[in-house]
Each structure stands twice: as structure tokens, then as C-alpha cells.
Amino acid sequence: MKKKHLAILLSKLRGFENPKPYLEQYRTPGEVASNLLWLAYSFGDIKGKVVADFGSGTGVLAIGAKLLGARKVYAVEVDPEALKIARENAENAGVELDFILANVSDFDKKVDTVIMNPPFGSQKRHADRPFLLKAFEVSDVIYSIHLSKPEVRTFIQSFVTQHGFTITNRLTVSFEIPMQFHFHRKALERIPVDIYRFEKSLADSTKR
């Protein structure tokens, strides 16, 4: 499957019916998802691998990983409404996922790769930290989306280094957010986000 076709397919998946602001439930745009997934695929971190999608929402990243040949994909989501839509999306896309209705912090399986679009922390400060901490615990390779701001970049650099990881790649793309909550002022807002690849530092990997 070509990257362009993947983006189109993921863009057609059903989004949130009742997005919850406290969970910062924004559908991952197909173009953003395909950029993350293609980066992971090019590094050999998808095909034949066991992958976990943290905060999977309606399943965009999880489904994309399976379409690119992941051996097993865990779709971990705390919202049952979102997970129901993810199941329907997966069925319509012709892929099988392992759905887990749980808080990300309760996930207890080791995986080859974590992919995620965690909360940006706009509604609850540091909302992305539990996602990062769990990812550091269960995998040596992580792909994650964060706001492209100097202060966020500084935090990410410090936080991943503190936990024995290295930033190997950072790709800046535009993330489209439609008007869906009462505090939104624009019909469609485009914000820059960074897609990161984190890898366990060699010295720390030998300790596992």
C-alpha cells in the first residue's frame, strides 16, 4: 500500500460521534496518521511486529498499522463509545485488532512498537505524561505526536532523555482540528505538531 492511499483510506474512517473535551478527543487526520505510520514502516517497526496504539480513539493509527502488516495490534482506549466505533472501523477496513478497554496506565504487555496521539495537555496539564511513561515501560521504540512549540520540544527532549530514550526523528506536520467544542472559535484550525520517534538508548537496552 502506498502512503497516499493509506492517507485516503484512514481519512474515510468514521470519527467520534460524541467527542469528550476532557479526553481531548480529536480524530487523527489521515495525512498525519500516514506520516507517522510510514515513518515507522520505513524503520521496520510495523511489519511483522507487535504494536500498541495508546489512546486509540476510533482506531485510525491501529488500523493503519495493521494494514501495513503488523502481526498484532493492541488498540488501548478508555472510552467505550470510541472503542465501539473503532471496532466498526476495523471491520469495515477488513482488519483484526485486539481491543482493550482500559486506562493506558493499566496496560501490562510488552510490545515491539508503541504508536500514539496522546492528549496535547490543553485541557489537563501534562495529560500526555502517563502515555509516555507507559510507553517507556513496555517498548523500546515509540512514535508519538506532540504540539510543535519550543516549550514542548524542550520538555520532550528532557523527559525522554531522563527515561533512557533518544529522539531519532522529528517530523513537523499540520494537524487539522474542526470546530467541535464550545471553546473553539474557528470552523477549522490547523496547528503544527511534531511526530517523534523515540528509541531506547543502547546502554539502557542492555539492562532489559
Structural domains of the chain, count: 1
Q: Please, what is the Cα angle at 28 between 191 and 78, to 5 degrees?
A: 120
In this prediction, residue 128 carries a pLDDT of 86
What the block records as the C-alpha cell of 55 is 489512546
DSSP classification of residue 126: T
Alpha-carbon Rg of the chain, whole angstroms? 16
In this prediction, residue 19 carries a pLDDT of 65
Q: How far apart are the first and last CA of the chain?
A: 35
In this prediction, residue 141 carries a pLDDT of 98
Helix spans in 108-173 (H): 129-138, 150-162
Angstrom distance (rounded) from CA 36 to CA 4: 13
Question: Smallest Cα–Cα separation from 194: which of 160, 179, 183?
Answer: 160
Strand-strand pairing, 98-101 and 188-200: unpaired
Give how far the C-alpha of residue 103 lies from the chain's centroid of Cα atoms, to the nearest Å: 15
Question: Smallest Cα–Cα separation from 196: which of 62, 60, 32, 26?
Answer: 32
Helix spans in 43-128 (H): 60-67, 80-93
CATH (domain of 43): 3.40.50.150
Compute φ and ψ for 191, nearest 5 degrees. Answer: -120, 145
Angstrom distance (rounded) from CA 94 to CA 185: 37
In this prediction, residue 206 carries a pLDDT of 46
What the block records as the C-alpha cell of 100 is 482493550
* pLDDT tens sequence for the chain (208 residues): 789 999 999 999 987 777 666 566 677 889 999 999 999 999 999 999 999 999 999 999 999 999 999 999 999 999 999 999 999 999 999 999 999 999 999 999 999 999 999 987 555 677 889 999 999 999 999 999 999 999 999 999 999 999 999 999 999 999 877 555 455 466 667 889 999 999 998 766 545 4
- Domain extent at residue 132: 3-205
Question: Smallest Cα–Cα separation from 94: which of 76, 115, 67?
Answer: 67
